[in-house]
Each structure stands twice: as structure tokens, then as C-alpha cells.
Amino acid sequence: MSDQQPLRVLITGAASGLGAALARAWEDRGADVLRTDRAPADGILTLDITSDADWAAAREHVEQTWGGLDVLVNNAGIAGGGRLDVAGIDEWQRLVDINLLGAVRGTATFTPVFKRQGSGRVVNVASLAGLVHPAGMGGYNATKAAVVALTETTGHELAAHGVSAHVVCPSYFRTNLMAGVEGRDAALQQVMTKLVEDAPLGPDEIAAAVLDAIDAGTELIIPDEAARAAYQLKVTDRPSYDAVMRAQARKLDAVAE
């Protein structure tokens, strides 16, 4: 990537939350940022990440406007999930189509551009749920874990073409993630909403940590201390990690009673 021109960055789900914070952070560093989101708005390119046609239009826009792309940020996603005997298969399918296949579609769309350039970065926003797996969140956990795997695969597959891949796995932070969440498991939604509302960090703090980590070449980005502590517990003391997760499962069942 050339130092002679601004970094060219496309971000999905950039109308609010972490996507908007990442856009601001990159712009503060002099980048040209294309904000995209499903809902039409001023300064936003309409991009439904479940639409192949929208992705093709986004690539055409990028190539006509910039001639190429330096950073693709697959940020758009939804919260959701539910206990195994409560959530419906339709809820699982929606999570897969948006959280996983949205990133697949984006990466597949711009891989030819990156190969042609011989450079690029793919940044996939997953979640701590991609690394540690609380009860009641099977669909969300599974799709975010799949995004972690997709990112590693992308990095290996495209390394010879000068392309790096990075996955972002934050814990809960203050955002509008729960807005518009629909699901059958009301107890899970209650618990998740409380965790988001009580989170100590906001999206701008997470975004700053993410950009610093990308600049350092970090591939697995765990941008906050709470997330790092939870992952470290799983890696270094599995019995204690399992005990914590099972205690959380009992608490979720108690909320549902």
C-alpha cells in the first residue's frame, strides 16, 4: 500500500456504533473512508451485506471512485441467539446469513481486487463470543467463531498476494447492538441488554485500540482488558473457565423462571 495516497477504506455497518467509530478513527488518520450501511442515509452508500447485487455495486463504486481498495472492514452484524430449546432454526439462519455470510460475500467480492493490486487488508469484526462461548448464545457464538476461522483462512490463502487478515474480538461495549433484536428467548435479551448498558467502554475506545493493533500487524485483536482476561482464563485454566460458564448458564435459567 502506497504512502503517497490516503488509505482507501470500506466499512460495512458504518452508520452507527463501532462501524461509525472506526470510520471516524481512520478519517482522523487521513484515510478516505467509504461508509456503507443497509439503511439509506446522507454520506452512506447503501449496502445490504446479504445481497450479492449490493456487493457487486459496492465494488463497482470503489473501482470507479478510487481504482482499488486498501482495507475492507466487514463490521456489519446482528446480536441474537437463544437457548437451544427456545431459539428457532429461522433465528440461526438469520445469524448465519448476516454475521457469517455477510463477511464471506464481502471478502469474496474484493479478493480479486486485492490480488490484482498485490496488497490489501481484510478486517472482520467478530466478538469475544467467537473465542469464549456463553450459554444461551449458540447461534451468535457459532457465527462469530466461524468469522474467526474465516479470517485465519483468508490470511493463509491470500498471504502470497500481499494481503493480511485481522479479526476483532471485543467484549461487551456500549453500543446500539441490541436495537431491533428479535428473538424468542426474552431472558437472553434481558441479560445481554444489561451487559451492553453496563459496559465500561464505548465504541471510540474500541476503535482506537483496533487501529493501533492493525498498524502493529496483529491478526487476532482482543481490544479490551475484559475480553483478554476471559480468553486467557479459557486458555490457561479450562476447569475454572467451564465453572464460570456453567454458573452463567444457571443464572440465565433463573432469569427465565
What stretches of the chain show up as alpha helix (H) in DSSP?
17-28, 52-65, 89-95, 101-117, 138-158, 186-197, 203-215, 225-236, 238-256
Task: 27-31: list long-range contacts, CB under 8 Å, 24+ apart.
Answer: 29/211, 30/6, 31/6, 31/7, 31/71
The set of residues, in sequence order, having a beta carbon less than 8 Å from that of 126 and lying 6+ positions away, is: 144, 145, 147, 148, 151, 167, 168, 169
- Note the pLDDT tens digit of each residue in 151-163: 999 999 999 999 9
> In the predicted model, what is the mean pLDDT of the chain?
92
Cell of 66: 478510487
Report whether 75 contacts 15 (CB < 8 A). Answer: no
Q: Which CATH class is domain 8-256?
A: alpha beta
- pTM for the model: 0.92
Across 141-145, 201-205, 213-217, least confident range: 201-205
Assess whether 140 carries a catalytic annotation.
yes
- Note the pLDDT tens digit of each residue in 36-46: 999 888 999 99
Inform me whether the pLDDT recorded for 178 exceeds 60. Answer: no
- Note the pLDDT tens digit of each residue in 58-103: 999 999 999 999 999 999 999 888 888 888 999 999 999 999 999 9
What residues does each domain of the chain span? 8-256
pLDDT of residue 30: 97
Inform me whether the pLDDT recorded for 181 exceeds 70. Answer: no
pLDDT of residue 193: 72
pLDDT of residue 202: 87
pLDDT of residue 186: 72
Q: Exposed, middle or buried by CB within 10 Å (0-12, 13-18, 19+), for 243?
A: exposed
- The share of the chain scoring above pLDDT 70, in percent, equals 91
pLDDT top residue among 35 and 253: 35
Choosing from 140, 172, 231, 241, the catalytic residue is 140
Report whether 163 contacts 122 (CB < 8 A). Answer: yes
Report whether 233 contacts 203 (CB < 8 A). Answer: no
Per-residue pLDDT band at 173 (split at 50, 70, 90)? confident
Distance CA 48, CA 51 (A): 6
Inform me whether the pLDDT recorded for 16 exceeds 70. Answer: yes
The predicted model gives 117-121 an average pLDDT of 98
The predicted model gives 196-216 an average pLDDT of 89
pLDDT of residue 2: 45
Q: Give the strand pairing for 45-46 and 71-74.
A: unpaired
β-strand partners of 18: none
Cell of 231: 480468553
